[in-house]
């Protein structure tokens, strides 16, 4: 299953733009389709949080191949809060950067161990040339 397909990443870019200035979030399922989640974080402009029940239902019904969310007016790199809230560290972690309402970049990361630290390593960059 290719979670990096242009179709899935374009759908994430649209979701991120539609939610701006709030962070969006969701998953890519085992068939490469995105499922948008409700962001239940208190500060939706700065963070995201997915309901545990929603997350478990998606895992059971569709399988989860990757987790995504957006950053508003920030770069497409996982933050310290993202690292602390990580649920399934073995999955690809996708961050869409929306600057002034336009998603131009998406980073796809995997969690690796470097020495005694865990860090996100970029595995792919996607640039939205349609905007």
Query: What pLDDT score does 80 carry?
Result: 87
Count of domains in the chain? 1
Torsions phi, psi of 11, nearest 5? -65, -40
Are 70 and 78 within 8 A, CB to CB?
A: no
pLDDT at 44: 96
pLDDT per residue over 56-72, tens digit each?
999 999 999 999 999 99
Report the chain's C-alpha Rg in angstroms. 14
Neighbouring residues of 7: CB distance < 8 A, sequence distance ≥ 6: 32
**Residue 78: its pLDDT value, please?**
93
In a domain, 96, yes or no: yes
Our separate counts of H helices and E strands in the chain read 3, 6
Torsion angles phi and psi, residue 17, rounded to 5: -65, -40
> Is 69 a domain residue?
yes
* Domain harbouring 117, CATH code: 3.40.140.10
Residue 108, domain member (yes or no)? yes
Contact 94, 106 (CB under 8 A): yes
In a domain, 118, yes or no: yes
Per the domain annotation, does 1 fall within a domain? no
Q: Is residue 59 part of a domain?
A: yes
Q: Which residues of the chain have pLDDT under 50?
A: 131
Range of the domain at 118: 6-127
pLDDT of residue 130: 58
Report yes or no on 100 lying in a domain: yes
Say whether 96 sits in a helix, a strand or coil. strand
């Amino acid at each position: 299953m290719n979670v990096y397909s242009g179709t899935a990443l374009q759908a994430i870019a649209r979701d991120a733009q539609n939610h701006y200035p709030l962070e969006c979030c969701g998953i890519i399922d085992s068939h490469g389709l995105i499922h948008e989640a409700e962001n239940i974080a208190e500060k939706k402009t700065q963070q995201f949080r997915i309901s545990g029940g929603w997350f478990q239902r998606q895992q059971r019904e569709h399988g989860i191949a990757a987790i995504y969310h957006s950053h508003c007016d920030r770069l497409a790199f996982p933050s310290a809060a993202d690292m602390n809230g990580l649920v399934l560290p073995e999955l690809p972690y996708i961050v869409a950067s929306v600057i002034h309402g336009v998603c131009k970049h998406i980073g796809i990361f995997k969690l690796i161990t470097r020495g005694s630290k865990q860090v996100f390593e970029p595995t792919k960059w996607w640039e939205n040339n349609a905007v």
